[in-house]
């Protein structure tokens, strides 16, 4: 029923809405795929039945791409089993000097980093066992690039929290963000979480839902509350890291390997 509803109601807008965390634009099928209630073959069957699939339909094509990413990570796990044993696919990245920063890790886990979109995602996961995919990428990259904390700690935390936690997909996603995996993002490409927030949650609706202490702020300030006034008094932490300086630090750490 959920699959049918997605095909009939959401597929047409999937390409444009799947990255908007405040919009119910994703399939929400991942928990059922993870535990075997739904199979990849069933998804493919309904997508291709009776001439339904159109190669020029961007919504259908995008969903197919996402299903294939899932299969790609499963095959990666099968062909390179070391990635299931806490090893990076790119073996030289084992030499990265990750920070030992338990306080920063705890702030990230609890959703108290001072970066609203990151905190919203971490709190959503803690409350519901699920996090929007776009925000998963933002929170993951923030941990392993801006905080320069070992991606394996984040991978483990996600697996403990997510109801759709899948070893292959979770590992693949984290290694993509950390630039340690197969076909991963280049190490110098680092998401700016504030820019991501402004682009994909422009009105701050997602942040207002999960970080209610910022709900009274306007649509510009909610993405970076202390940007204009560092002395602003809020019941919300100030950023635990400078985004620009930490980006430079991460790039230098990768250059050293």
Catalytic status, residue 210: no
Tell me how far CA of residue 155 lies from CA of 69, 137, 140, in angstroms: 18, 12, 8
Contact (CB, 8 A) for 98 and 149: yes
Query: Which positions ≥6 away from 26 have C-beta within 8 Å?
Result: 10, 14, 18, 132, 133
From 17, 133, 157, 192, the catalytic residue? 133
Catalytic residue check, 108:
no
Q: Is 95 a catalytic residue?
A: no
Task: Return the structure tokens found at 60.
Answer: 């259908």
In terms of C-beta density within 10 A (0-12 exposed, 13-18 middle, 19 or more buried), how is residue 35 classed?
Answer: exposed
How many residues can be counted in the chain? 257
Active site residue 133: yes
Q: How far is 137 from 66, CA to CA, in rounded Å?
A: 14
Catalytic residue among 108, 174, 176, 210, which? Answer: 174
Q: Which one from 1, 8, 9, 66 is the annotated catalytic residue?
A: 66
Please give the structure tokens belonging to residue 76.
């990666």
130 is an active site residue: no
Give me the catalytic one of 63, 108, 151, 176.
151
- How many CB atoms sit inside 10 A of residue 175's CB? 28
Which residues are identified as catalytic?
Answer: 66, 69, 98, 133, 151, 174
């Amino acid at each position: 029923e959920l699959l049918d509803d997605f095909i009939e109601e959401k597929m047409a807008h999937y390409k444009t809405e799947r990255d908007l965390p405040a919009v119910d634009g994703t399939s929400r099928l991942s928990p059922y795929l993870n535990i075997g209630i739904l199979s990849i073959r069933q998804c493919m069957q309904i997508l291709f039945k009776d001439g339904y699939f159109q190669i020029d339909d961007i919504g259908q094509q995008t969903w197919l791409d996402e299903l294939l990413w899932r299969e790609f990570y499963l095959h990666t796990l099968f062909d390179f089993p070391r990635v299931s044993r806490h090893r990076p696919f790119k073996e030289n990245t084992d030499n990265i000097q990750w920070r030992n920063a338990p306080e920063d890790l705890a702030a990230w886990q609890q959703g108290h980093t001072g970066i609203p979109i990151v905190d919203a995602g971490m709190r959503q996961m803690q409350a519901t066992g699920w996090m929007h995919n776009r925000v998963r990428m933002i929170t993951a990259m923030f941990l392993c690039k801006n905080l320069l904390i070992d991606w394996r700690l984040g991978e483990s935390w996600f697996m403990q929290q997510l109801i759709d936690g899948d070893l292959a997909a979770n590992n693949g996603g984290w290694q993509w963000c950390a630039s340690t995996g197969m076909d991963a993002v280049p190490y110098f490409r680092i998401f700016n979480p504030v820019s991501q927030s402004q682009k994909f949650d422009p009105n701050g609706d997602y942040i207002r839902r999960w970080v209610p202490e910022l709900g009274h702020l306007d649509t510009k300030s909610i993405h970076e509350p202390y940007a204009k006034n560092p002395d602003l008094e809020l019941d919300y932490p100030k950023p635990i890291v400078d985004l620009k300086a930490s980006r430079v630090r991460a790039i230098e750490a990768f250059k050293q390997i």
